[in-house]
Every structure is written in structure tokens, then in C-alpha cells.
Structure 1
Amino acid sequence: MTDAASGQPLAGATVALVRAGAASERGAVTDLDGRFSLSRLDAGAYTLRATSVGYAAASRAFTLEAGETLRVDLALAPEATDLEAITVEGRSANLVGIASAASQGYVGQAQLTARPLLRVGEVLETIPGTIVTQHSGSGKANQFFLRGFNLDHGTDFAASLEGVPMNLPTHGHGQGYLDLNSLIPELIESVEFEKGPQNAAAGDFATAGRAQIRLVDRLDRGIAKGEAGADNHYEALVANSSDVGAGSVLYGVRARYYDGPWVNPENSALVSAVAKYTAGTAARGFSLTALGYRSDWDATDQIALRAVENGQVSRLGALDPSNGGETGRYTLVGEWQRGASGAARTRVRAYGAYYHLNLFSNFTYFLDNPTDGDQFEQVDRRAYGGASVTQEWFTRLFGRSSVHTIGAALRHDEIFQVGLFNTRDRQRLGTVRDDTVGETTLGAYVQNETRWTDKVRTTLGLRGDAFRFRVDSDLAANSGTETAFIASPKAGLAVGPWRGTEFYANAGLGFHSNDARGTVITVDPASGEAVDRVDPLVRTRGAEVGARTAVARGLQSTLALWTIALESELVFVGDAGGTEASDASLHYGVEVNNFYEAADWLDLSLDLAFTRSRFTEGDPGADRIENSIGRIVSGGVYAGRETGPLASVQVRHFGPRPLTGDGSIVSDATTLVNAKLGYRTRRLAVSLDVLNVLDSEDADVSYFYASRLPGEAAAGVEDVHVHPVLPRTARLTAVLRF
């Protein structure tokens, strides 16, 4: 099919069957699917018009005799210049005919605003089936759970902010460390997410899924926000936009102080800032963004349950009040885009960042050092940067609408210090290891998406990733270099839609990298014993079949049956406070997600995820993956319009988790209810968040390992260690738009 005006081929072809009516009838379109409209110009003369998100409208005029049927191959040309006008308000956006997988989705600012948030990291809980918790002070990266994975602080889940990868490899506290505390929720435009490793654009750490977080380019009105609540919670935000030259500047600063309900106050202080200059359009423009974040805190880590039961501490008490940390990250990113409607699109991005962390923890108390205690310090100081380029061509392949994509990304982490030290009251007593690391990654992919018919789309991709690790250790035996390469093919099929329902099948290979230090290690730095090296890159495999439907007015539903296999699971070691490579594993499950816009003032959601996770190697009697969640149920109700009263209730439940490989020790389930009540005018909004409405005493996180309290036997006691959910608390917020 070609455009009658230009004679050039159009992309995004779609098909309609048009039946002419009698002289007094308008005519009919079969397989409407919400994208076609038919106009009758005169007797026997018609115009068919097609529209879709992200494409220029296309039309075709033709004549038909009464009762005749014509197949019309009408095409839609991608129109990048219109993308800047598209606003994803929330999960109500209809992705039928757009998404390439059932578990792919978008979340907009409207939904983020509606949720009562305990922690800023909970913006990822808008991804169905995701749990975001904490097992330490609020300045530390969150604990994440998705698809049966205990993701620790980000392992096997990749996230980016303004296109900059946020996961940190070979990190002092855990591989793929993901700290989201720098986010300013009010400035997030959207969260684009997908689960599994089936997308060719997904690289390291994206086995369970990935999220791309984008900031708004500008604010229609400035924001001045003040928030106060129990436990000395104070927060302020000022943000606005100003026209500068041919573009505009977005700027904002968020500050927070928080003690928490803990017996040992957190004394947590945080400052986060953003400045973003944007010029041009989404098709031909550029942006330059600066991000800054600084935080320090005192921490109440997970505590031994026996210490609570014997009255040594309360459930909100601390067994080592000197735990805590300080961290910061400072980033500069530039993005440049060029596009021609219906022809090609280019995006180039470059970034640089500096990051630091000093983290003090004590999970075993006096097990290893009966005199000074087991506190340790984990240090990470690095500069990292990189660049990426993506090129898309909108063409015809065998006469069919097709999009070809080539992408490449280069990243280097120069880690000036990644160390582990024995400490007491944050004073160093000795060095376990102290290393300098250089890690370079080059990834590239090709992908083709072709619409073969109006009901069949395919996506085929191939990704390759090369790594180079360099470790300079304080122990010469643990120094060295290592290189690795891995190729990952991907494939996807979308069939439909029929009556607003589309079906998907996706499969692909992926990977995660291991800590660079483990790829060259020969000697355990603590015991001096010989140890085996880990594989630099670990193969993962994912597959998913599912469906997405919008057949009922206002209701968006998805169903996904999925499986993910890993040649080596990265697991959290509770007594060491880090991650280590373990045995091969298999995760599989089912997800059912529903979002219902019942009225223009009422939204309902219900998401269900059921998972089975097992190690597939080692002792079959100890094949449980510790802290793998088998059941997650979340849902909510939001009532309100742009102005006037508003109310929101969110329920989050995650089921019991095995704490030992044989499943003999299991945590309790955790259920939380959060609520928001408020009133909005066009300039002023006032709301009250009530967190943990039912005052649950469940645990955010539970572990089982050996620790030693004063007076106990030298071998310690194996016990459950918990970090409790916060008691019921209230926060009052006022937001002025100016």
C-alpha cells in the first residue's frame, strides 16, 4: 500500500473490511478495534480513516456498489512529532495493538499521584506483582521482589532514569545494587516496564524485568509541597519550569528529615535535586539533565526474633545502634533525537556519574568477634559513564510494514574503592578486602518488528554483550583480568486483536553478570582458603504466553503464563549482608492484572501473581529458594476528579516465604493497607496519608541464620531475624500550584 499523495510506502499497515450500504445507509467496517472511522461522501463514495497512538492519521477514498465488500489495506505512518503531545495518565491506557507482550506496560503521573507512598521506591509497586520493602534504614536501597525472585537490592531487575542505568555492578553491598531514594515522584512522567528477558533492548540484570523511568520535560505550573507526619517526618519540595532561549528548564529540589518509629532514631536527612533543559520537539530536539542526591542515616537492621521474645529489645529496637550509612550520586546526561515522519528515527545519549557509599551493618552481633562485635563497613566509590545510540527505520519488508532497530551501548565503571572492613561503632578495626576495579561493557542488538497482516505481528531480535573485568586487589592472588561474551536471541508473536483482545507469545535468552571480584578470585580473603571462581556471565532463559483485552468498556486486563530459568541464582546471604552465586534455578507462574475505569471519577485495580521457585541442582530435599514469594495480591480503589474530594485505598499482600532450603522454616504472610484522603482545587491540594491503616505487626523482611547475643554459646543460635513493617502512621501534605 502506498500513500496516494506521495507515492511513498507507509509503515504500520493495518487492514479493514468495508461493506457498502444501501443508498440510505452509512456502510460498515469489520474488525473496527477502535482504530477506524468510515464517512459516506455521496452515493457509493466513502472515506476510511485510521488513527493510532504515535502515528499520523491516514485515510483512503474509494467507491463501492451497494452490498459490495472491499478489503482496504490502510497504513499508518509513525509521526514522532506528535509523540510529545501524548500523555500516559495511568494503567487505563489501551495497549492492545501497541504492546509486544502481555507483561509490558506503562504507568503515568496520575497513578503515582493517587498512591499513598511510604517510600519513594514504591513507585515500582505500580508494576503489577512487584513488592518493595526495606530491611534496614530508609537511606539504604530497597529490597525488591518480583516473579519469585528475592531481588535483594536490585539483582536481576534493571532500572534506568532518563536512560541512565541505575544498577551498579560489582557493588560494595550487592551485585546490581539499585538505589531509588533519589527519585522525586512528582517529577516522574512515566514508568515503562516489562518482565522477563525477551526484549533485545534488555541487557544486564533484566532477567526478572526492567523499568525505564522518565522525568517530565516541563511543568505547566510550579509546585510547592510541604509534608509533616509522625516520628519527625518532614518533607519539602519546590519545582517549576522556566523558558530559557529556545527551550525550557525544569528544576526541583526535594528535602526530607525522618526519625522513624524506631527506639534508635534514624536521624535520616536527604536532599535530591534535578535540573533539565529541553529544546526542540520529541522528533528533533535535545535535553541536558543534571541529577544530584545526598543522604545519611542511622539504621535499625533486622533483629533476632528471640531478642524480642525474651524482652531484650522491643520489636522496634536495635541490637547495634551504631549501624547506618551515607551515600550520594551525581549524574549528568544529554540526549539528542532526530526523526523523519514515516522514515527513520535516531536517538543518541551520553552520561557520566559519580557515586559513593559507606554502609555500616551488623547482622550476627557477636558471632565472629565476641569482644568487638561483628559490625562491618562496606565501601563503594566510583565514577561511571557511557553512551548509547538507537537507530530505527520504518520500511517495507516483503511488502509489509516493518520497523528495523539497531542499538548499541557502551559503559565503563571505574571503581576507585570497593572494600569490606571490620568495624566497631563505625571505627575501622581491620581490612577484609580492599580493591580497585574497572569494568567495561559493550552491548549491541538488532531487532525487527513486522506486521504481516492486520492480525499478526512478529518481533525478532539478537543481542550481544561483551565484558572486560580488571581487579587490583590488596591481595595479589585475587588480582587479574577477565573477559566474556554472550549472545542472546529473542522472539515474539502478537496475534489479534479480535474484539479488543490480543494474544502474545514471547521467548528469549538473557543473562546477568557476576561481581568482577569473583571472576578472578583464588583465595578467600577472610579464611585464606582456596576458592573457585564464578562465571563472569550467567545464562538466563525466559518464555511467556499471554493475552491482553479491552473488550469490556473501561476494563484493561492481562493474563501471563511465564517461566524463567537461571544457570546460577544470585541469592542474598543474611549473615554476610551481600549476594553470592548459587545453584541453577527455575521460576514459573501466572499473573492476572486488571485495571477498571468504572467512571470518570472511579478507578479500581486488582493484580494477582502466583509463582513456584526451586533450585534445580544440589540436594532435592533443600531446593527451596529462600525468600521467594509464591503469592502476591495487590489492589486499590481511587475516587476523585481533577478538582474536589479524593480518596484512595491500596492493599498489598505477599504470602509466606521459605526461609530455609528444606522449607522447614517459613515466614508469615504480610498484609498492609494504606489510604489517602484529600481535597483539590486547581491551585491547592491537601491530603492525609494513613499508612498501615490496620496497624499490622507483620514483617517487611524475614531471614533465618545464626547469630550470637551477649551471653550465648560461641556457636550462636539459628533464629529468624525480622525487620517489622512500620506501625500505623499519618502524614499531612499540602501542595500549592503556582
Structure 2
Amino acid sequence: MKTTLLLFIFSLHVLLLTAQTTYSSRIIDAVTNEPVEGAVVQSKNKVTTAAKDGRFSITLENSETIVTISAIGYATQEINTANTGNVLLTRAAFNLKEVVIAAGDITKVYSTISKIDLNQRPVNSAQEFLRYVPGLFIAQHQGGGKAEQIFLRGFDVDHGTDVRITVDGMPVNMPSHAHGQGYADMHFVIPELVKTIDYGKGSYYAEQGNFNTAGYVELQTANRLSQNTVQTEVGSFNSYRALAMVNLLPATNQKQSAYIASEFIYSDGAFESPQNFNRLNIWGKYNVQMNERNKLFLQANVFNSRWDASGQIPERAVNDGTISRFGAIDNTEGGYTGRINISTKLQQRLHNDDLIEHQLYYSRYHFNLISNFTFFLNDPVNGDQIRQQEERDIYGWQSNWQSKKFKGNTAFTSSIGSGARFDATHNSELSRTKNKTEILDAVALGNVKEANAWLYADEKIERGNWLFNIGARVDYFHFDYNDKLNPSLASQQKAIISPKLNIFYTVNKSFQFYLKNGKGFHSNDTRVVLPQTGQRVLPASYGSDLGFIWKPFKSLLINAAAWHLFLEQEFVYVGDEGIVEPGGKTRRVGADVSVRWQPLKALTADANINFAHARSIEDAKGENYIPLAPTVTSTGGINYQYNSWNASIRYRYLANRAANEDYSITAKGYFVTDASLSYAFNKFELGTVVENIFNTQWNEAQFATESRLRNETNPVTELHYTPGNPFFIKLKLAFHF
């Protein structure tokens, strides 16, 4: 009897297996011939997505002959499984109905939608793409040349200490930087080249390493231009921009593509002292499909920028009429910076359908910044001007292997990655100076050598409505500093293991729950690490997200999450030096809500509101505020796109928050509104962008700083700020061919 029963079960199992078949293909853009990563493939009972190279496999019942393929920004197609060629998707207007909630990390939907926003929300620089992340704010306080200050989830990230940023796989954050740990300057990216923006909040991603505590942002630039473009812009405050992007190979060449792009920007800014800001970017990219399974990517770019600045101004000097909001106590601030990047990547699809990527990159970087935060606090005669500068070489390699296999009704997606990065700085300097060039006191001078090697593994197990994502990474660091002013300390090394666990449950095609958990970290500056003899070298973060994605109607998408994050060591801003130093333990809790609505085919609206409660654990109540940590933020807008017209209006709101530990000084909130309008005709495009359309008076960057003016006997601690731009208008004329 038992034998008969076993034979029956076995026969039934074989019958079920033979009643299924696997359909595989590759999804590409019909215009650019580039893969459409993340395209959704649906059968009656199964859903899967396309990989980086556009390939997918889906299990079907033998009776099924049709699958539906959709992607945001493309027309949905029904494909007969008898089709053995590539699936070509044609571009179409954004339609929220195309968004599919299925088993998997549906939170990625928002980063996918952001690709559509690229065409609807013009930006002045690549740094402004960070605003596409719901709840992320940026602030510029050095004339447009320095990397912006970043705020996210109760963090004042400074210039990048807790948000990991990459462009085409190359790291942007710089450890042990002359101006601050994790400094991330994205200005070397030409905005029109950006194809996709991927982002995630929290430290739940095994492939993301150093500086991924509050979140990460990845930009991918286009491998092929959909059209050639020549563009000119002119705006308020003597602002100009010229752009050219040209394909070097004909569109008929589907195996190879190459282009070159360049931009030049100049602006005097709204300040009484002209900024003389200028920036030059040159990009080149070449890609070749070597054969059916191997593709090679080569790219290089050059970036240079120079500017003058009026710096941060004390509130008292404006209130008593000494200067205007756009005046300066010291208008000799400014700087120059530049970067050269070279990268090569090989993408391989093995015969067993596994995907492997290898990348090598090199960056040459220089930075010089003149600041004066405290005026005459330390030197009543010469003033407190400081110079921070460095030169740097970055060498990097990374590889990733990904495999997706099926066992019955369970899908296993495995990823293993490894890599190494070596940073070598030359003459990292902090000096007290006069007239920018005369050194009064050399505070710090030396060469940093820092190495980071890593290995990670990530497994996604998908069965029915459940997806379990289990991962871990190990990072190893080696720190060395050749101090040219003091006896050098012994080098140090440290390793850290970061586990991750994420669970997704898809109730139906309209609702999904998720729980994310992970450990992350941010490294300390090498010059801080060595004196501590290896203690508190890699402070960790521990976080969780509990949230849901809900699509109550086809035209409405809601994402909400409650989150918690504990950080072993905060970085604290030091006003008199303009740097950050290690602090104590902190805890943050909060909630994020994002809504996307499309009431009409031509009309879309979005809004998000974010709450955060951030406190130091080791300080007394009332003295445990984290300076500048955002508490309530919100952004949103309405976009209208019909035929050749595109119009949008957007707002951003940042509430009042503590500027110091006891909240005796308030960093003032603001509500600013921007708008844009464009019209395309024949091969031309005419557009205008208006920033701060209501001419709101607002502070962009703010700090509680102790300073003394030339005529003052005693120092004063109060709010210092860089004013936000007043009403600004810019006109654009583009020719596409």
C-alpha cells in the first residue's frame, strides 16, 4: 500500500513538472537598443522582472502562450511565447496603471518612477537629483561649487557621512576628505545624461557598503543617446549654460554606441559680491556588444570648477543693518576643484544564464577651499580664514555574480559580490591663512592611505506571496597616515560584518507588507582612527522599517513606513574649523508617507511627508538634541504633460529644528515653490524654469556658530546662515537632431 501511494505521488509530481514550460527572452528599448531593466513580465499566475541586461525567464503552464510585458514609461505589450527574438518596447507617456504589485521588493517602484521624473523635473546640477529621494533635502553654502549639505531621516549628513552615493558604479563619497568624512561631490555629472536613479532608505542592502546608514543613491548614465542635442540657457544673476551631446556612431549600428557630451556653466549668483562661478564637464562613453553574451563598457570624464563665495553670515549683522542678506563679512571665500574618472566594465551572461559583471575604475581628484566661519574669533588682527585642500588618487575594482534558479514553485536569486578600493591623498591640509595664499599656521598636513576590501552574499527566496531576502557583507579597512607636522602613528586595521534580513508579503495585486532589518556603518576619518588605536573605527548602525505599498485604485499608489535607527557614533559639526568630529550614540525613530496619483492621463501629482525624532542617548534630556536634524519635511507637486507641452509646479517644506544641543538656537524652516514650463516643436524645445516663484525669504544652510566681528569685544554664539536664492528665472532653447 505504501509503495503504491509513493508511486502515485511521484507520478503526480512528474506530471505537474511536465505540464510546465519556461519562456525566456530579452527586453530592450526600441529606440536606444538598451536593456529595460526591471520590466515586469506577467503570466496568469506568475510575475518576474528583467535583469540588468534585459533578460528574463518565467515558468508557464503548457496551455499558456501569452505573457504581458510592461514597464514604466513604455507601452504595454502582449507577447506570444512562440516569439524567439528580443522584445522591443516603445516609449509611451507615464501611466501609473502600469505599476504592478507582485512578490518582490516593490519599494523599488518609487525609484523606477523617478526615471519618469527625470523628464518632468528640470535640475540645475546632478546634485539636485538627490531631491528625487522622498524626504531628502540638500543645502548649498559655498557659491555652488562645493558639495551640498544633505539631510535625510533625522540626519544632518553633512556632505555625505551617512548616505552612500555612486555614479555608474563608481563611488562618489570620499573617506578622510579634507573638508569632511564621506564628502560627496556629484557636480561632475551632466544632468541630461542620467538615465536612472535608484535609491533606498536605511541600511538593508548587502551590496551597499561604507556610508550606507541613512540610505543610498545610485545614478546610471545613458549608454546611448536617443538623440543629439545642442542647448543654451540664460538666467537671472548673469547665469549662462551651454550643453552639447552628440552620438559618434550611427543609430543603425546596434552592436556599438559612442557619444561625447559637454557642458559649461557660469553664474554670478544673487550675492552682492559676484561668485564668478564656472564649471566645465566633458563626458565620453563607448559600449560594444562583443557577442551575444558579452558586453564591454568604457567611459571617461573630466570636471573642473572654480568659484568665489560670500560664506555664512551672522544673523546679528543682518538685523542691525551692517550687511544685507546677500552681503558678506568676508567675501574672499571660494575655491576650486576637479576630477577625472576612467572606468571599464565587462558584463557577461554565462551559458547557464548566470550574470557576471567586472568593473575597474580610477579617479584623479583635487580640492581647494577657502572659508571663514568665525571671522575674528581666534585672530582679531588677520581674521580666521582657513584653507582645506588635498589631491587624491582612487583605484577600485568590483565584481558581482547573479543567478536565478527555480525549484518547483520556489525561485532562488543568488548574488555574490566582492571588491576593493584604495584612496591615496597627497598633502591633505588644514591651515590658517591670510589672503588665501599666505599660511599663518599649519594645523594639519599629511598623506592618507586608506584601503577597503569587501565581500557580500545575498539570497532572495520567493515562494507564493512571500519573499525572504537574507544577506550579509564583511568589510575590511586599513588606515595609514603620514603626518608631516607630528610623529606618525602606527597604521590600524579593522573589519566589520553587516547582516541583513528583509521580508515581503504580497497580499494581492494591490497590497504588500514589508519588514526590513539591517546593520550598516560609516567609517571614521583615518586621522581620527589612528589616535584612538583602533577604537570606534567603524561605528555601526542598526535599523528596521515596517511598511506597506498599497494601490487602492489603479491611479493611486501609497507607500508608508515606520522606522527606527540606532547609531553607535554620531558625527558632530565643529563650527570654528568647518569640519565634523566623532560624537556619541544616537537613536532615531520616524515615519515616511509617499503618495503618487494620476487622476488624468496627462496629469500626475505626488506628495510625501516625513517625520523624524532624533536624540543623543548619552546626554541629559533637554540637552540631547542633534543639531540640524530635520524633524518634519515634505515635498510634492503637480505635473501636466500633453502632446508637446510639459508644465509642473513643486514645493519643498522643511520645519523649524534645533540648531544646537539644547535648542536655544533655532534653524528656521521654509516653504519654497518652483515651477517649469516647456514646449517642443519640430526639432526644437523651448522652456523656462522659475525657482522661488513667490520670492520667499529663506535660509538654505544654517549653523549655530560662535563668532566675533571686527568691532566686537566679546564673541557671540548665534545662527549663521547662507540665504536661499530669491526669485530666479531661466530660459532654455534646445535643438534635437
TM exceeds 0.5? Answer: yes
Shift of 1:80: 14
The CA distance in 2 between the partners of 1:282 and 1:331, in whole Å, is: 28
**2:368 corresponds to 1:363:** no
Q: Corresponding residue for 2:189?
A: 183
Task: Give the match for residue 251 of structure 1.
Answer: 260
Change (3 A) 1:548 1:190: same
SS state at 2:622 partner? helix
**2:29 — aligned with what?**
none
User: Conserved in 2, the CA contact under 8 Å of 1:271 and 1:294?
Assistant: yes
Q: Which moved more, 1:674-683 or 1:434-443?
A: 674-683
- Residue 258 (structure 2) pairs with residue 265 (structure 1): no
- Pick one of 312, 321, 337 that aligns with 2:331: 321
Give the superposition deviation at 1:521. Answer: 2.7
C-alpha separation in 1, matches of 2:92 and 2:641: 18
Superposition pairs for residues 137-216 of structure 1, below 5 Å? 137-216=143-222
Does the residue aligned with 1:243 lie in a helix, a strand or coil? coil
Deviations 1:203-248 (A, max 9, x none): 0001000011000111121011110011010001000213288411
Alignment-derived partner of residue 621 in structure 1: 622
CA distance in 2 between counterparts of 1:258 and 1:377 reads 23
Which of 447, 462, 469 in structure 2 is aligned with 1:451?
462
Residue 734 of structure 1 is matched in structure 2 by 733
Higher relative contact order (CA closer than 8 Å, sequence separation 6+): 1
Indicate whether 1:337 and 2:360 are aligned. Answer: no
- Residues 163-210 of structure 1: CA deviation (Å, up to 9, x unaligned): 001000000000000111122111100100001111111100010000
Give the Å deviation of 1:340. 4.4
SS in 2 for 1:121: helix
> 2 CA distance for matches of 1:724 and 1:171?
26
- Alignment map for 1:443-482 (pairs within 5 Å): 443-452=454-463, 454-482=464-492
% identical aligned pairs: 27
For 1:407, the equivalent position in structure 2 comes to 417
- 1:67 aligns with none
Q: Is 1:83–1:282's contact at 8 Å kept on the other side of the alignment?
A: no
- C-alpha offsets along residues 548-595 of structure 1, whole Å, 9 cap, x if unaligned? 123411222211111111000112223321111111001111101111
Paired position in structure 2 for 1:488: 498
Q: State which of 92, 96, 100 in structure 1 corresponds to 2:101.
A: 96
**Secondary structure of residue in 1 paired with 2:519:** strand
The Cα offsets for residues 7-32 of structure 1, whole Å up to 9 and x where unpaired, read as 988999xxxxxxxxxxxxxxxxxxxx
Q: What whole-Å deviation, never above 9, does each CA across 1:122-141 have from its counterpart, x for those lacking one?
A: 11101111111112220000
The separation in 1 between residues aligned to 2:519 and 2:166, in whole angstroms, is: 21
**2:138 corresponds to which residue?**
132
Instruction: Return the alpha-carbon distance in structure 2 between the equivalents of residues 82 and 317 of structure 1.
Output: 60
Distance in 1 (alpha carbons) for counterparts of 2:111 and 2:90: 15
Task: Give the equivalent residue in structure 2 for 1:590.
Answer: 591
Q: Which runs of 5+ in 1 are unaligned?
A: 13-33, 39-47, 64-76, 523-531
Letter in 2 for 1:435: G
Q: Which residue of 2 aligns with 1:520?
A: 530
Aligned to 1:430: 441
Q: Which amino acid in the other structure matches residue 576 of structure 1?
A: E
> 1:440 — aligned with what?
451
| C-alpha distance in structure 2 between counterparts of 1:130 and 1:634, whole Å | 9
Q: Aligned Cα RMSD in Å? A: 2.8
Q: Which residue of 2 aligns with 1:392?
A: 402
Aligned residue in 2 for 1:229: 235
Q: Which residue in 2 is equivalent to 1:113?
A: 119
Instruction: Supply the distance in 2 between the matched residues of 1:62 and 1:83 (Cα, whole angstroms).
Output: 21
- Which SS does the other structure have where 2:119 is aligned? helix
2:472–2:500 Cα contact (<8 Å) kept: yes
Distance in 2 of aligned mates of 1:89 and 1:564: 38
8 A Cα contact 2:24 2:58, kept in partner: no
SS of the aligned residue for 2:656 comes to coil
Quick one: distance in 2 between partners of 1:145 and 1:477?
Answer: 37
Instruction: Give the alignment of 1:692-703 within 5 angstroms.
Output: 692-703=692-703
The secondary structure found in structure 1 opposite 2:316 is helix
The CA distance in 2 between the partners of 1:438 and 1:80, in whole Å, is 52
Q: Quick one: which amino acid aligns to residue 102 of structure 2? A: G
More displaced 10-residue stretch of structure 1: 491-500 or 304-313: 491-500
Instruction: Quote the residue 1:381 is aligned against.
Output: 391
In 2, Cα distance between equivalents of 1:87 and 1:284: 26
Q: Which runs of 5+ in 2 are unaligned?
A: 1-12, 26-39, 65-80
AA matched with 2:296: F
In structure 2, the residue matched to 1:556 is 557
Structure 1 residues 580 and 83, CA gap change in structure 2 (3 angstroms): farther
Partner SS, residue 260 of structure 1: coil
- Larger mean Cα displacement after TM superposition, 49-58 or 298-307: 49-58
CA contact (8 A) 2:166 2:218 kept: yes
Alignment of 1:580-729 (within 5 A): 580-641=581-642, 643-713=643-713, 715-729=714-728
C-alpha contact 2:20 2:61 (8 A) present in aligned 1: no
Amino acid aligned to 1:327: T
- The aligned counterpart of 1:22 is none
Matched residue count: 683
In structure 2, the residue corresponding to 1:105 is in which secondary structure? helix
**2-side partners of 1:141 and 1:258: how far apart?**
17
Q: Could you tell me how far 1:85 is from its partner in structure 2?
A: 5.8
Any idea what SS the aligned residue of 2:447 has? strand
CA distances 1:593-616 after superposition (whole Å, capped 9, x unpaired): 111223231111111101110011
Compared CA separation, residues 607 and 156, structure 1 to 2 (3 A): same
Q: What is the CA distance between 1:121 and its match in structure 2?
A: 1.3
* 1:84 CA displacement: 9.3
Question: Which deviates more from structure 2 when the two are superposed, residues 380-389 or residues 592-601?
Answer: 592-601
1:714-738 CA-partner distances (Å, limit 9, x unpaired)? x411111011111101100111111
Contact 2:432/2:443 (CA < 8 Å) preserved in 1?
yes
- Flag the 1:468–1:6 CA change in 2: closer, same or farther, 3 A: farther
- Structure 1 Cα separation of the partners of residues 672 and 292 of structure 2: 40
Letter in 1 for 2:249: D
Letter in 2 for 1:639: Y
What are the superposed Cα offsets for residues 326-374 of structure 1, whole Å, 9 maximum, x if unpaired? 0001000111111148731101111001000000000000000111100
In the other structure, the counterpart of 1:350 is 360
Output one character per residue of 1:643-668: Cα deviation in whole Å (capped at 9) or x when no partner.
Answer: 42221101000111101211222222
* Counterpart residue identity of residue 376, structure 1: I
Deviation at 1:117, TM superposition (A): 2.8
Match of 1:546 in 2: 547
Q: Which whole-Å deviations, capped at 9, do the CAs of 1:260-297 have from their partners, x for residues lacking one?
A: 01011100110011101011189631100102110000
What corresponds to 1:70 in structure 2? none
C-alpha distance 99-305 of structure 1, shift in aligned 2 (>3 A): farther
Query: What is the rounded CA distance, in whole Å, between the counterparts of 1:485 and 1:551 in structure 2?
Result: 46
d(CA) in 1 for partners of 2:329, 2:564: 40
| Alpha-carbon distance between aligned partners in 2 of 1:298 and 1:612, rounded to the nearest angstrom | 37
1:264 and 1:321 in contact (8 A); partners too: yes
Partner secondary structure for residue 528 of structure 2: helix
Amino acid in the other structure paired with 1:264: S
Q: Secondary structure at the match of 1:124?
A: helix
The match for 2:71 is: none
Q: Which AA in structure 2 matches 1:475?
A: L
Distance change (3 Å), C-alpha of 1:478 and 1:84: farther
